[in-house]
Amino acid sequence: MELRARMIVEGFITGLHKSPYHGFSVEFAEHRPYNPGDELRHIDWKVFAKTGRYHVKQYEEETNLRQYVVLDTSSSMQYKHQNGITKLEYASYLAAAFHYLMTLQRDATGLIGFDEKVHTYIPPKATSQHVRGLLSQLEQFVQKPDARKTGAATALHEVAERITRRALVVVMTDLFENVGEHEELLRALKHLRHRKHEVLVFHILESGTERHFRFPDLPMVFRDMETGETLTLQPAQIRDAYTEAVSAFSESFRRRCREFNIDFVELDTATAYDKAMLHYLNKRRMLL
């Protein structure tokens, strides 16, 4: 998990340096010569190896930014179909990258896992040892997923009550909630905003099948991963109606989130992580 996080972040940073997005400070501002009394842990040994001189990393002004990644670990997140990676794996690797990036910034980061309710709550800290613990927990989510239904609305209301200090709350979910709970889910997100948190929602799906219903036009049996309920049908019979319903739901949810100043970002498990990283950094800057 740590290796994946580092590869995502370093690849993203390299891409930023080759792009117009130069406004992001993703590691440190500059180097300066070492002076007696400077902490040895700030010496850049790579620079020393190249120049034979001691330089320290002079960081941007530290912030008191606190972040929580709120991750949906319900059974529906274990779906993957053709992309070769489950929604839970994709979300966990993205979460790991966010935690790793916060370490570079020396900001505090925490992790909340939920299904029908909150089952994991790790408050933010800004140490590398703490982040390794978060990555280990993400690894456990991926390796030992539980068979659980989704209760995002209930979980997010609990999160809003438990987080007492203003923070960046990053929610990762497929929004596979009972239709009747969608309004309550929006109220839960509004609850977070009422508590003065910045909220970023990543809606993660396997787009080919879950957004566009691209299944073979043959009789198929579909099984609900959370309830076990089955349905037999031929995809072509409902494809148009299905895609129209999904599009209408996404647009409606996005519009309602916008009313509450909540960022809503659609992600496909086949999409490179850079899109999510850019949205994340844009949101992060709002708290600096």
Q: What angle do CA 182, 187, 191 make, to 5 degrees?
A: 145
Measured distance CA(1)–CA(10) in Å, rounded: 14
Residue 216 maps to a domain:
yes
**What is the 3 state secondary structure string of 217-263?**
CCCEEEECCCCCCEEEECHHHCHHHHHHHHHHHHHHHHHHHHHCCCE
Residue 12 maps to a domain:
no
Measured distance CA(160)–CA(175) in Å, rounded: 18
Residue 255, Cβ neighbours under 10 Å: how many?
A: 10
Q: Are residues 78 and 51 in the same domain?
A: no
Q: Are residues 53 and 89 in the same domain?
A: no
Q: Are residues 147 and 195 in the same domain?
A: yes
Q: Label residue 22 by pLDDT band (50, 70, 90).
A: very low
Q: Are residues 281 and 178 in the same domain?
A: yes
Measured distance CA(162)–CA(124) in Å, rounded: 13
Average pLDDT for 62-80: 87
Q: Are residues 132 and 198 in the same domain?
A: yes
Q: Are residues 86 and 42 in the same domain?
A: no
Please tell me the predicted confidence (pLDDT) of residue 179: 66
Q: Are residues 174 and 238 in the same domain?
A: yes
Q: Are residues 167 and 227 in the same domain?
A: yes
Beta strands 230-233 and 220-223, pairing class:
antiparallel
Write the single-letter amino acid at 55. H
Residue 250 maps to a domain:
yes
Residue 98 structure tokens: 């966010």
Q: Are residues 103 and 124 in the same domain?
A: yes
Q: Check pLDDT > 70 for residue 38.
A: no
Residue 13 maps to a domain:
no
Q: Are residues 247 and 169 in the same domain?
A: yes
Q: Are residues 189 and 258 in the same domain?
A: yes
Q: Check pLDDT > 80 for residue 57.
A: no
Q: Are residues 39 and 113 in the same domain?
A: no
Residue 135 maps to a domain:
yes
Residue 280, Cβ neighbours under 10 Å: how many?
A: 23
Q: Label residue 64 by pLDDT band (50, 70, 90).
A: low
Q: Residue 252 is part of a domain; what is its CATH number?
A: 3.40.50.410
Q: Check pLDDT > 70 for residue 112.
A: yes
Q: Which domain holds residue 182?
A: 66-285
Q: Which residue has 């002076």 as its token pair?
A: 35
Structural domains counted in the chain? 2
Please tell me the predicted confidence (pLDDT) of residue 53: 78
Average pLDDT for 44-64: 68
